[in-house]
């Protein structure tokens, strides 16, 4: 029954869909359900991964209308050709495995091209294929079973969990006993106690750092922090009938954190040098302990609680005296969690460092000895997005950046290089697209794949010396996709709250779009300050958007002020102000779109999001109900005091003050107006599910009508299939004012 329904839906979609269909009808539900299948594998000649062998050869898999082909690019003669005879290899593999191997779907990986052979992997074998006879030799049987157990993000760091540490010269081993630091001579087995001030409440960590010359040790004492846990009940566990109580370590804003106190020891004399803590007293954390190669000092990083001071510190190995190499300060926040970058040169004399001190994220070269900036390496009204590589030999830095072109979307990624003296900025990409570059190992050539949401991928080979295209490789074929009725998203911009700054987003329309109809708007929101979120590369399906559009909506996604990857001022809007979520910019953007397109109904606007987006969706009808009428908030952090410490203190600051309550959906629940659905997984260990229940409790006490969907056994989620159905019905009922069709009619 299900297969026949899917087939009938796909056939109907591939035909002409009559415009007489309404919005939110069973037919549109079926189209919404089928978009993933309908659009999948409809874009050809759009390879994604490229594998270099030196600077001369690169292979990749190309997806064609007939199947997968393996292609070999040679920079020597600038050629592109089949890596091997697909038919011959398929025949030999069929003989070897006893299975019928299709030449258009070989399913091999990890090619290594040799002189008269090539090596590759199947799911279970490593094989060499000799040329020209295509004789196969099994080199190894592969075990590709992966450990799929999910690791908990918030697990407490075990300071006692490290094994004893052997000195670089192998003569000693350092270890912890009775909360103190000991060493043992590996020849005589004699133990020596180096520290005597450790105790269970302030103990030495087992993470011991020997100096390269084996003459000194850096070890740090730890005073443990608070012990907060979150609890929840797994109502329907798979392994038993009765429910289970579960807990997780989970520090929240304002909780006590561990305090680390670095200590220096001279092995021969046994002398102990406690480091003065004045420069790192108010710790959020200490990290990055590392000895200089000449054993003259060790460095570490200090992140001050509140994230307004960040230091790179150096401790003298003879005296333990601590000095500042780099100090970052900010009246708002230092984005240590997303933008921090540090690279120490091999000789320990210089550091490449990222900073937003001039208003944009840029790179600086520091002199370690003086603690002074030798040179600002990049500069301009655009941000460095990521450092790719530091080439010490040539004293160059490879990085990505965005916003360098006034006639392009400021979020599009471009690839660049700059010298250590801040000169000779080279741009490897200039085309109007979001670029993904794969350099050859020696950086002599690179493959550039670029696209936009409204422009299919193009893949070319370029010469790094000239940054020019030397060989076209692929141009995506989207004809089969367009035949389904797929609509290209529109990139749209409007001025933000200041009347000057461009706010960027996209508009997604349904496949049966009819400009004579009236379309309510749904915004898919995620306004987490740690990044920007509007898609920039070509896709066939846009998560959280495409399937909703098929029900008869215009669906949009926007990066408002307070999100990242623009200027520091643009980002700072979020500071101690997460309720803002860029809403003043989002409202203006949607109104501008409605002014341009009369079929967009900006008087009927809904919104949905998950996690930080769930908080944002809740805030839409708590703080912005003048504009947003319907919201679905999944697994939201509705009060930042209830969520994980690192994310919330990064943006909301420390100490926990009245601004936390001012930004709380829960505290301000009485202001909620409109239609709201709250969705939460009962065992969410990312965002404490109690924050949703507290919001619900506050709404009940305020006499507010809302819907609550609790998902048994689910963790941090948008709801899966069930949640997707509930979300669709909620918008259809409350925005389209249509009674949703029976699930039995749609999903069975």
pTM for the model: 0.94
Tens digit of each residue's pLDDT (9 = 90 or more) over 519-567: 999 999 999 999 999 999 999 999 999 999 999 999 999 999 999 999 9
Could you tell me the end-to-end alpha-carbon distance of the chain, in angstroms, rounded to an integer? 7
What angle (nearest 5°) sits at the alpha carbon of residue 544, between those of residues 542 and 550? 80
At residue 728, does pLDDT exceed 80? yes
Q: Picking from 1-5, 171-175, 414-418, 680-684, which range would have the lowest pLDDT averaged per residue?
A: 1-5
Pick the residue with more confidence: 608 or 9? 608
Reported as a pLDDT band with limits 50, 70 and 90, residue 741 is very high
Res. 269: pLDDT tops 60? yes
Among 189, 356, 184, 216, which Cα is nearest to 295's? 216
- Strands across the sheet with 342-344, in order? 342-344, 350-355, 362-367, 372-376
Q: How far apart are CA 723 and CA 721, in angstroms?
A: 6
Q: What does the pLDDT read at residue 145?
A: 52
CA distance 156 to 225: 10
Q: Which pLDDT belongs to residue 154?
A: 78
Question: Which residues is 637 bridged to in the sheet?
Answer: none
pLDDT for 2: 40
Q: If pLDDT is split at 50, 70 and 90, which confidence band does 150 have?
A: low
Residue 731 near residue 548 (C-beta atoms within 8 A): yes
| Three-class SS state of 496 | coil
Identify the pLDDT of residue 406. 96
Cα torsion 584, 590, 596, 598: sign: negative
- Does the pLDDT value for residue 297 go beyond 60? yes
DSSP single-letter state for residue 14: H
What's the pLDDT at 5? 39
- In 3D space, the residue among 317, 374, 379, 335 whose CA is nearest the CA of residue 565 turns out to be 335
Q: Which residues pair with 495 in a beta bridge?
A: 502
Q: Is the pLDDT of residue 16 over 50?
A: no
* Bond before 655 cis per omega within 30 degrees: yes
pLDDT digit string, tens, across residues 507-523: 999 999 999 999 999 99
Query: Which of the four pLDDT bands, split at 50, 70 and 90, describes residue 156?
Result: confident
Cα–chain center distance at 421: 31
628-634 and 600-610 beta bridge pairing = parallel
Question: Which has the closest alpha carbon to 399: 382, 51, 349?
Answer: 382
pLDDT value, residue 4:
37
Phi, psi of 554 (to 5 degrees): -90, 125
Residue 15 has pLDDT above 60, yes or no: no
DSSP lists the bridge partners of residue 44 as: 477
Check residue 36 and give its pLDDT. Answer: 82
Q: How many CB atoms lie within 10 A of CB 184?
A: 17
Strands 675-681 and 707-711: parallel
- Split at pLDDT 50, 70, 90, the class of 747 is confident
Task: Check residue 152 and give its pLDDT.
Answer: 75
Which position has the higher pLDDT, 40 or 463? 463
Given this model, what pLDDT does residue 229 score? 96
pLDDT tens for residues 703-721?
999 999 999 999 999 999 9
The two structure tokens encoding residue 109: 């990986």
Pick from 558, 682, 724, 601: which is nearest to 23 by CA? Answer: 601
Q: Is the pLDDT of residue 623 over 50?
A: yes
Closest CA to 362 of 321, 404, 395: 404
Encode pLDDT of 554-600 as tens digits: 999 999 999 999 999 999 999 999 999 999 999 999 999 999 999 99
DSSP-assigned letter for residue 202: B
pLDDT at residue 7 above 50? no
Please report the pLDDT score of residue 6 as a whole number: 42
Residue 437 has φ and ψ, to the nearest 5°, of -110, 140
- Mean pLDDT across the stretch 435-463? 98
Helix (H) or strand (E) run with residue 645 in it: helix 645-652
The CA-based angle 96-102-108, given to 5 degrees, is 70
Q: What's the gap between Cα 390 and its chain centre? A: 22
Q: How far apart, in whole angstroms, are the C-alpha atoms of residue 170 and residue 531?
A: 45
Residue 746 pLDDT: 87
CA distances from 575 to 124, 405, 420 (A): 51, 28, 33
pLDDT, mean over the chain: 95
Convert the pLDDT of each residue in 209-268 to its tens digit: 999 999 999 999 999 999 999 999 999 999 999 999 999 999 999 999 999 999 999 999
């Amino acid at each position: 029954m299900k297969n026949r329904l899917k087939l009938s839906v796909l056939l109907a979609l591939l035909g002409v869909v009559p415009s007489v269909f309404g919005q939110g009808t069973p037919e549109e539900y079926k189209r919404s359900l089928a978009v993933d299948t309908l659009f999948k594998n409809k874009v050809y000649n759009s390879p994604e991964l490229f594998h270099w062998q030196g600077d001369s050869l690169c292979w990749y898999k190309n997806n064609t209308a007939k199947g997968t082909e393996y292609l070999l690019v040679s920079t020597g003669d600038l050629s592109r050709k089949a890596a091997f005879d697909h038919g011959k290899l398929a025949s030999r593999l069929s003989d070897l495995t006893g299975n019928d191997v299709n030449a258009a779907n070989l399913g091999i990986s990890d090619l290594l091209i040799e002189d008269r052979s090539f090596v590759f992997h199947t799911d279970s074998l490593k094989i060499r294929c000799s040329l020209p006879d295509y004789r196969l030799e099994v080199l190894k049987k592969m075990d590709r079973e992966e450990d799929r157990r999910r690791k908990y993000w918030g697990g407490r760091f075990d300071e006692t969990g490290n094994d004893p540490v052997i000195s670089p010269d192998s003569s000693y081993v350092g270890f912890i006993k009775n909360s103190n630091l000991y060493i043992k001579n590996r020849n005589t087995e004699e133990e020596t106690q180096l520290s005597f001030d450790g105790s269970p409440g302030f103990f030495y960590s087992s993470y011991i750092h020997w100096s390269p010359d084996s003459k000194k040790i850096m070890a740090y004492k730890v005073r443990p922090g608070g012990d907060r846990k979150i609890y929840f009940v797994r109502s329907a566990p798979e392994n038993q009938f009765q429910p289970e109580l579960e807990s997780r370590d989970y520090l929240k804003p304002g909780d006590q954190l561990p305090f680390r106190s670095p200590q220096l020891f001279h092995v021969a004399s046994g002398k102990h040098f406690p480091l003065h803590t004045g420069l790192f007293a108010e710790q959020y954390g200490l990290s990055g302990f590392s000895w200089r190669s000449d054993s003259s000092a060790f460095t570490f990083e200090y992140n001050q609680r509140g994230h307004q001071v960040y230091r790179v510190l150096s401790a003298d190995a003879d005296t333990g005296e601590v000095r500042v190499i780099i100090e970052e300060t900010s009246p708002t926040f230092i984005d240590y969690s997303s933008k921090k970058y540090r690279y120490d040169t091999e000789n320990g004399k210089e550091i490449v460092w990222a900073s937003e001190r001039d208003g944009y994220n840029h790179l600086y070269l520091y002199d370690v000895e003086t603690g002074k900036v030798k040179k600002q390496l990049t500069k301009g009204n655009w941000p460095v997005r990521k450092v790719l590589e530091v080439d010490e030999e040539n004293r160059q830095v490879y990085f990505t950046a965005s916003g360098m072109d006034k006639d392009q979307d400021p979020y599009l990624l471009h690839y660049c290089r700059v010298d250590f003296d801040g000169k000779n900025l080279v741009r490897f990409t200039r085309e109007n697209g979001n670029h993904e570059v794969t350099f050859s190992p020696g950086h002599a050539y690179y493959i550039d794949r670029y696209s936009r949401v409204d422009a299919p991928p193009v893949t070319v080979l370029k010469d790094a010396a000239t940054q020019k295209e030397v060989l076209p490789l692929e141009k995506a074929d989207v004809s089969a996709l367009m035949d389904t009725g797929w609509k290209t998203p529109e990139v749209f911009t409007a001025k933000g709250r200041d009347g000057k700054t461009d706010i960027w987003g996209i508009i997604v329309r349904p496949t049966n779009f009819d400009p004579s109809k009236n379309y309510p708007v749904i915004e898919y929101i995620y306004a987490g300050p740690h990044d920007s979120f509007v898609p920039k590369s070509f896709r066939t399906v846009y998560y959280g958007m495409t399937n909703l559009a098929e029900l008869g909506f215009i669906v949009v996604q926007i990066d408002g002020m307070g999100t990242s990857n623009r200027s520091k001022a643009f980002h700072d809007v979020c500071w101690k102000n997460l309720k803002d979520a860029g809403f003043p910019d989002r409202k203006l953007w949607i109104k501008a779109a409605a002014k341009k397109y009369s079929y967009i109904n900006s008087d009927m606007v809904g919104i949905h999001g998950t996690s930080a987006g769930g908080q944002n969706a809740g805030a839409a009808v708590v703080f912005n109900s003048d504009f947003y009428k319907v919201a679905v908030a999944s697994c939201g952090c509705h009060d930042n005091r209830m969520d994980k410490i690192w994310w919330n203190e990064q943006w909301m600051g420390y100490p926990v003050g009245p601004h936390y309550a001012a930004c709380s959906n829960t505290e301000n629940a009485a202001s909620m107006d409109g239609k709201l659905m709250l969705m939460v997984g009962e065992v969410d260990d990312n965002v404490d599910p109690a924050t949703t229940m507290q919001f619900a409790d506050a709404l009940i006490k305020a006499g507010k009508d809302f819907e609550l969907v609790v998902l048994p056994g689910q963790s941090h989620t948008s709801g899966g299939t069930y949640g997707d159905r509930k979300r669709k019905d909620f918008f259809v009922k409350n925005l389209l004012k249509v009674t949703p069709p029976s699930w039995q009619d749609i999903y069975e």
